[in-house]
Structure 1
Amino acid sequence: MLLIEIPVALLLGLTLVIRGWGRADEQTGTPTMDWVPILWLGGFTLGVLVIAVVFLYSAHPFAGAVQLLITAIALIFTLAAWHEQYDRAHPSPLPTCPTRAGTPCASSNLVTDR
């Protein structure tokens, strides 16, 4: 099973990396949360968990324990992807400017300052 899971995990990681390459230039406002990496990683985690339960049920405790360890690692990656997407979609507010009372500080833009 590990010989099947390793290439699937590598392919999943490669597709998620390639998917996010062209996005830095097209950001215009606050981005929405991208659920695709979370769902892909969550599906992989759930699949590995099902395999672990099958191994444990069929009296293969060592193989089931290895699968549970892989499930825990995949769950950590899934939670990290969720946290990254949440932080990207919900940025912290800008601090208030001391020169302009109550308005957030922003980088000076020559087009809008005229």
Structure 2
Amino acid sequence: MLFIEIPAAILLGLALGLRGWGRADERTGTPAMDWVPILWLGGFTLCVLVVAVAFLCSAHPYAGAVQLLVAAVALIAVMNAWHEEYERAHPAPLPTCPTRAGVPCASSDPAVGR
């Protein structure tokens, strides 16, 4: 099963990596969360867990344990993808200006803010 899962994971990572190319200048402002990488990685993790349970139920404990380890690594990848998308969609606010109370600091030149 690992010989099937490894190429599938590589193709999934390649497809998700190439998917983001060229999107840097599409929109201005705060982008929405992109749920596609999270859902694809979550589906892959779920498939690995189903295979692990099948191995454990069919009296193959070592193969099931390896599948559980692969699922744990895939779950870490899902959480990392979610965290990156959350940070991209919710940027940190600008610090407040010390000269003007409660007003975010901005450049005095309006051309710089574009």
Same fold (TM over 0.5): yes
Q: Deviations over 1:28-51 (max 9, x none)?
A: 000100000000000000000000
Distance 1:65 1:39 in 2: 24
Distance 1:67 1:28 in 2: 42
Distance 1:60 1:77 in 2: 26
Match for 1:47: what amino acid? C
Distance 2:26 2:5 in 1: 34
Shift in Å, 1:98: 1.8
For residues 35 and 5 of structure 1, do their structure 2 counterparts lie closer, same or farther at Cα, with a shift above 3 Å needed? Answer: same
Q: Deviations over 1:2-31 (max 9, x none)?
A: 110000000000001000111222240001
Q: Which structure 1 residue ranges, 4+ long, deviate > 3 Å from structure 2?
A: 107-113
- Structure 2 stretches lacking a partner, 5+ long: none
Aligned length: 113
Query: What's the TM-score, normalizing by structure 2?
Result: 0.92
Distance 2:31 2:108 in 1: 22
Is the helix fraction higher in 1 or 2? 1
Match for 1:90: what amino acid? H
For residues 59 and 105 of structure 1, do their structure 2 counterparts lie closer, same or farther at Cα, with a shift above 3 Å needed? Answer: same
Q: Which moved more, 1:96-105 or 1:35-44?
A: 96-105
Q: CA RMSD, aligned part only?
A: 1.6
Query: What's the TM-score, normalizing by structure 1?
Result: 0.92
Match for 1:95: what amino acid? P
